[in-house]
Every structure is written in C-alpha cells, then in structure tokens.
A and B are shown apart, each in its own frame.
Chain A
C-alpha cells in the first residue's frame, strides 16, 4: 500500500502519536489510520491539481496547527486529564543509551590533570584560579551524573530484565558501580580544589606538604575515574550483547563494541609491555563505544514499532 510521504505528513502522524499517548491501542490505531487515510487522499488530490510539494506541505501543516486545540480537547474528553502512559521499553532503553553518552563524557572529563611533579605547580595554580561558582557547578554536574547513572541502572534493569536477566543485571551492576565511583570522584575533586587553593595561599614546607597531599588525592581521583569508565564499559558491552541478541538493534552494530573490546585488550597488553599510548587507547576503546551508544540509542528511539492491525468499527447505534 502506498503511504503518505513528506515532512508535514510525518509531523502530523507524530503529533497523533503524541496526543493519543495513554489511550487504548485500538483507539490510537483508529485515529492514526483515519488521519493517515486523510493525508493520503489530500496528497493524491493535490497531485491531481499539479500542486507542488511545498504547497501540499504548507496545507497539511496549516490543517495540523488549526486542529491542534481540538485534538487536545478531544484527548481530554476521551479519558480526562488522567493518563496511563505506557512508554515502550525500546524507547526507554534508547533514551537511556543516549543519556549514557553524556554521563560517560562528564564522568571522563574529571580526568586529565598532569600529576607529574615538574608541572604540578602550574596545574594547582590553574585550578585555584577557577571561580567558586564554576567549582560548585562542576561538582553539582558530577553529583547529578553519579545519581543519574544509578537511576539509569534501575531504568535499564526494569526495561530489559525480561529480555535477558543476566546481561541486564551485569549492565545494571556496571552502572551502579560507575555511579558510585563518579560520586566518590566528585567528592575527591572538591577536596582537590580546596588543596589547590591552600597550595596557592601557603608557602615553604607547608606548601610542599600540600602539594604531596594534592598529588595523592589526584592519583586517587584518576584511579576512581578510570574505575568508573571501566564499569561503564562493562555495562555498555552487556547492553550491546543483549540488544544484539534480542535483535532490538541491527546485529551488525555489535561490531562497534567488539572493536572497542579488542582495542581494550590489545591496549592493555601493550600497556603492560610499556608500549601503550594512553590517548590512542582511550580513543580506540571509547570511540566505538560512544558511537554504539549513539547509533543504538537513536535506533531504539526512532525505529517504528509494529503497527496494530486495522480495527473494524461498528456504529454506536448498532452496538446497543
């Protein structure tokens, strides 16, 4: 069957999906099919009059916008403002995967200070110059990220446990661990900032003592961040395996985390042999992982789900 085409028609159908959210499947399908038929007839009619696609799109958008208040009133009349919104688990998982991208970047961004004694004085002075507002905002973002990771663990577990309990548990465990470590790293970061300010304000032996302490704290922060990122990797690999196995995303997508895993193993061996390059390792492990999160997240969010079969409508009068 020919379908309606174009941005305006797609927008109209998306709006229907939006305002019918929470209604029964049959009601939603009926509304969707009726307006899809309308759009198709409209498009065919306008083609017959040799109207351009732009004119058709404008006409559809005009009908969409002018009808919106009535759509909202219709929706409220159907069941009142109370709704039982059931968001498909694919959409939940997709949204969480995309959120993980931001969380992974924020978690990783705490790292990157140079603990080398020769340049550490400059690092501490640079850090001390950052205003307290920026420090607090930074800490708040990290606190939120840590809590969000723990929340995401619960979200993934609930959304995916029926598809694979073991992999969903591993993924959730990885996220909880990453969240807890991110919270620890955020707290240590605040300590590190305090030490940097004290370093700048002090002198002599005390200053040297503060520097030693600050370096120790920084090394713990770095270790904690690495631990959090490893936990996130573990979680992502589990999610990739689960979504590929259940065919929630195209199976070929598993190549990205597989590539990341190979890079991780090779980089680890090279690191043990003293030949590792941290930057290359981070890019080759983190790059494909982030790419998988983005592609799989968008896929789960936007791929249309199976539509319900058309419904047969009887007249209200004949139904008794």
Chain B
C-alpha cells in the first residue's frame, strides 16, 4: 500500500522526537549512530535500528527539509582519529512536523532524485 506524501513513518517520527529531545538537553546536532542509540534507549528496545532503515529515513527527512545536514570538519575527526560524522539538525519545519505528526504543507516534495542540495568540496 502506497503511503501518503504527507505521512511520516514511525521511524521518522522517532528520529525527530529523539533529535528534539537531544537538542533540549544541549546537543543540537546528531549523527546516525547517536540517534539510533537514542531511539533504542528511549523506546527501551534491545536492538539498534537497521542501517538501511535509519539512513533511508534520514534521507527522506532531509529531502523534505525536516532535517538538514553537514559533514563535520575533517580536523575534528582527525583529532579524534575516527571517520568524519555526518551531522544532522532538526529544522523549524521538522519541529512543526513532529508537533503535527505529519509533513507540513510547506515542505518540499521528497520524490526528487538525490543530487539536489549536494556539493562536493
């Protein structure tokens, strides 16, 4: 069954809710693993969300403009001797979507192919 364009999946709502909760305690940006852990702990689940489920949901949220993302500075990752994180932040539109439980009318369509909004450095 095809879902409505304005519909948000439970995993997408969980990401937004967990991200807003993290922002409330002072962590305005999050990365994939951190949010997976936050969702698991928040729901009292045993397992972390599957990679595909998590990153597909983040991808759709980004296309809808409910979250925005950036790659962290390479120096930070190099200093900690780890791979660079892709950092996400919930937008005002995302906060509204969480409150309404649906995609706001002002959100862009999520059907466009990836490539929009990407730039190589």
A: which residues have CB within 8 A of B? 1-4, 12, 24, 26-27, 30-31, 33-38, 40-42, 44-45, 59, 62-74, 78-79, 309-319
Contact = CB atoms under 8 A, between A and B. Distances in A.
B115 to A, nearest CB: 7
B1 to A, nearest CB: 14
A30 to B, nearest CB: 8
Interface string B45-86: 001111111111101001101001111001001100111111
B108 interface: yes
A314 B118 contact: yes
A68 B54 CA distance: 11
B120 A311 contact: yes
A38 B91 CA distance: 22
A315 B83 contact: no
Contacts of A68: 50, 52
Contacts of A319: 116-119
B78 A318 contact: no
B36 interface: yes
A313 B117 CA distance: 7
A63 B47 contact: yes
B81 A1 contact: yes
Interface residues of B, number: 46
Interface in B102-121: 108, 113-121
Contacts of B53: 66-67, 70
Given A37-B31, A317-B91, A312 B55 contact: no
A157 to B, nearest CB: 34
Most interface-central of A36, A40, A313 (chain B CB within 10 A):
A313
B37 to A, nearest CB: 7
A313 B56 contact: no
B32 interface: yes
Contact of A313 (B32, B57, B118): B118
B70 A1 contact: no
Contacts of A316: 62-63, 65, 68, 108, 116-117
B68 A318 contact: yes
B33 A38 contact: yes
Please give me the 3 A-B residue pairs with the lowest Cβ-Cβ distance, nearest first.
A67-B52, A67-B50, A315-B68
A33 B91 contact: no
Contacts of A34: 32, 55, 86
Given A24-B115, A63-B47, A314-B117, A33 B84 contact: yes
A314 B68 CA distance: 8
Contacts of A313: 69-71, 86, 117-119
